[in-house]
Amino acid sequence: MDHLLSMKQLGKEGIRSLLARAAELKAGEPHALGRDYAVSNLFFEPSTRTKTSFEMAEQKLGLSPLPFEAGFSSTLKGESLYDTVKTLEAIGLDALVIRHPEDGYYKELEGRTSVSIINGGDGSGQHPTQSLLDLFTLQEEFGKLEGLKVTIAGDVAHSRVAKSDRDALELFGAEVRYLCPPEWRGDFEAVDDWEDVLGESDAIMLLRVQHERHGGGEDFAPEAYHARYGLTEDRAARMKEGAIIMHPAPVNRGVEIAGSLVEAPRSRIFRQVENGVYVRMAVLETILKGRD
């Protein structure tokens, strides 16, 4: 694997391999990198979890990422992403983790750089490492992915997480349902009533409202949204026995999920964050070893 750009490129065996390696790393098995590699994290959108998770993964792999701050880079002077990547290739970078607001930003790089690209999220497109950590968390909880019933609720049309998880979960035969306001369905078939999914779901994943991708001018009432589409305490109490709550975060408490549920016994939200480090270690290790 030279790059990780989307979940569609991995296939079932590629996903299984990465999840198995993440489990070994979480269990304490040492990493298998035999030398140092030059990596950097290029984040052109704000990030807490993904960026720091990659930084921790790199640290645990014995890597020292080259600092890069988009707000102080030559992109502010008009330099293209392609020229930025080619500059870092010339400096000697082996791999770049890139988050960018443009859908499919990596397409202009394919076949034009020797640097390995790991997609840390592209616009409303894909977020493969988030999807992998979601799968890892589900597999860790239920021992399987096949046959699970997963509901993704929220702003699915603008969510790269929803798209990545759809591609991966359906590949494994999971039943994925979507709940959202009609105007946020996009190309998803979605319901807008919790009663259609609440009692059957093994996992409910909440998504935040992505105001930054709505183009402005949105008349949004958080309290009304929470009452109609949020996971309230009452709805959580009626979830299926053994079902879990997930969220890729950042969380808007009291909007898509009641604040009291974020750290409730059913919640795996911070477990997802923990698992993200090991998944990203597995991805980096696999790609960097492949360069040798």
Residue 207, pLDDT > 80, answer yes
Residue 94, pLDDT > 90, answer yes
pLDDT band at 215 (very low <50, low <70, confident <90, very high): low
Q: Assess whether 116 and 165 both reside in one domain.
A: no
Question: Which range of residues forms the domain containing residue 151?
Answer: 128-273
Question: How many residues are recorded in the chain?
Answer: 292
Which residues are 97's β-sheet partners? 41, 118
Q: Assess whether 42 and 90 both reside in one domain.
A: yes
Annotated binding site: 49-50, 77, 99, 127, 130, 160, 208, 249-250
The pLDDT, as a whole number, for residue 205 is 98
Q: Assess whether 249 and 280 both reside in one domain.
A: no
The whole-angstrom separation of Cα 120 and Cα 108 is 16
Q: Assess whether 100 and 144 both reside in one domain.
A: no
Residue 58, pLDDT > 80, answer yes
First to last CA, the chain: 11
The whole-angstrom separation of Cα 192 and Cα 244 is 20
Percent of the chain with pLDDT over 70: 97
| Side-chain-facing half-sphere of 82: CA atoms under 13 Å | 7
Q: Which residue has the tokens 């890069």?
A: 68
Q: Assess whether 158 and 78 both reside in one domain.
A: no
Average pLDDT score over the chain: 95
Number of domain units in the chain: 2
Mean pLDDT within 207-215: 75
Q: Assess whether 58 and 44 both reside in one domain.
A: yes
Q: Which two tokens stand for residue 258?
A: 């009641």
| Secondary-structure breakdown of the chain: helix, strand, coil percentages, each rounded to the nearest 5 | 45, 15, 40
The pLDDT, as a whole number, for residue 218 is 64
Q: Which two tokens stand for residue 212?
A: 């930054």
Q: Assess whether 66 and 150 both reside in one domain.
A: no
In a domain, 198, yes or no: yes
Q: Assess whether 168 and 60 both reside in one domain.
A: no
The pLDDT, as a whole number, for residue 166 is 97
In a domain, 232, yes or no: yes
In a domain, 2, yes or no: no
The pLDDT, as a whole number, for residue 214 is 63
Q: Assess whether 150 and 238 both reside in one domain.
A: yes
Please name the helix (run of DSSP H) or strand (run of DSSP E) that holds residue 14, with its range, or none: helix 11-26
Mean pLDDT within 223-231: 96
Q: Assess whether 135 and 99 both reside in one domain.
A: no
Looking up residue 251, the CATH number of its domain turns out to be 3.40.50.1370
Annotated binding site for L-aspartate: 77, 160, 208
- Least confident piece of the model among 67-76, 85-94, 191-200, 257-266: 67-76
In a domain, 86, yes or no: yes
In a domain, 268, yes or no: yes
pLDDT digits 0-9 by tens, 8-43: 999 999 999 999 999 999 999 999 999 999 999 999
Q: Which two tokens stand for residue 44?
A: 């052109």
Annotated binding site for carbamoyl phosphate: 49-50, 99, 127, 130, 249-250
Q: Assess whether 114 and 244 both reside in one domain.
A: no
